[in-house]
Structures are given as C-alpha cells and as structure tokens.
Amino acid sequence: MKTPKQKKYGLATVLGLMIILTGWNAFSEKGGVVQTIKNATSTFDNGSVESVPPVPEDTVLAQVRYQGGTFRVETRKDKVKRFQCSQCHNNQPVAIANAVETAHGDITLNHGDKVKQLACFTCHDKDNRDVLITEKGTKVDMDHSYQLCGQCHFRQKKDWIGGAHGKRVSWWAGERVVKNCASCHDPHAPRFEKRWPKTYSRPFTE
C-alpha cells in the first residue's frame, strides 16, 4: 500500500509528464506553434512579400534622403483648389468684384510669433505665385513644401525624414511614401487646436 507521500510524488510525476507532452505537441511540427507559423509565412518567399503594394499616383520622389535611401511624398499642388495661382496673379487686371475675399477669404493667417508674424510673401514668391520661396531666395515647388517648412522647423523636418514625425501613407512593405507637412498642418495656421479627448480613462479601482 502506497503512503500519502508516495501518492503525492506519483501524482506530481504524472502531471509533469502531461505538461511536457502537451508542451511538445504545442511546439511540434504536426499541429502546434511551429506549424502555425509555417502556415502563416507560406505566402513569403525567402523572407520577401510576393506582392508589393502599388505606389500611390499622387506622390513625388522626395528631394531629401533618409537612412533607408530615397522615399516618396504626397503631392500638394493637386490638393490646392485654386492652383495654378498664376491664373489670377498674372499682372492682368482682375474683373471680379471682391476678388481677394472671394479667393482667399477662408484663409486665417496665424503662423509665427508676436515678434515675427509671417505674411503672405514670407513664403509665396511675389514674382511667381506658383512657387514658394525661402528666406534665402530659393524657389521651392509646392509639392516639396517640406523644404520651406524645414528652414524654421528643422528639428521636425529631421524627425520627419527619419520617420519619427508625420505619417506613412503606404504599407510597411514596398516603397516608403509619407505625407507632406501640409497634408496634416494648415500651412497658414499650422498649430493644432486644443481639444478634449474623445474617450476618458477609467479610474483605477481595486
């Protein structure tokens, strides 16, 4: 007759064997974790994706490089409803009444600080309204407006190039495509308005 101590060790031995066998089955190739991983990765060939997402059409090759090489950025000109600006700004008399209010009445300029408040011609070229211009007089295509933003917001531009600031448009596989600065920020009033969170954290209760 077995003593209580022998029964206890016998039960522990049986349980231990069951755990070992269960664990082996879970990680075996016949239906466990290993097989599940193989099934999930069966669409990959040598670690590469079979199909790469197509590059969005409304993008241009960025004029800067990041640690992974070249990347693409969303276009800007096709998002501006009244581009080309030279349709009106062409040194010809404008026959439309209240043309300024009609064309630019929805723009609120709130960019810069009290010491140096930005004006229209801080960024827009007086002679060619279809392009932007830096403080050094370099003309910048609107599709590459990040070059203009980066002359003041250089830390944000560095983070944007590296991927720490902004948003990626395409999937993580394939060519890198990111949003332009003006895709998220209103260039005339770039600071986001303060707002209440849409959801609230539950209070911790024991």
Per-residue pLDDT tens over the stretch 151-169: 888 899 999 898 889 888 8
Residue 98, C-beta contacts closer than 8 angstroms, at least 6 positions apart: none
Mean pLDDT, rounded, of the chain: 77
Residue 143: what pLDDT? 92
pLDDT tops 80 at residue 70: yes
Residues 18-63: pLDDT tens digits? Answer: 656 555 555 455 556 566 666 665 555 555 556 677 788 889 998 8
CA distance 107 to 52: 40
Of the candidates 88, 86, 90, 92, the residue with the CA atom closest to the CA atom of residue 102 = 88
Find out whether the peptide bond into 84 is cis, omega within 30 degrees of 0: yes
| Mean pLDDT across 123-149 | 89
Helix (H, G, I), strand (E, B) or coil at 192: coil
Determine how many CB atoms are found less than 10 A away from the CB of residue 53.
Answer: 13
Residue 149: partners with Cβ closer than 8 Å, 6 or more residues away: 156, 157, 181, 182, 187
Nearest to 159 by CA among 72, 64, 80, 94: 64
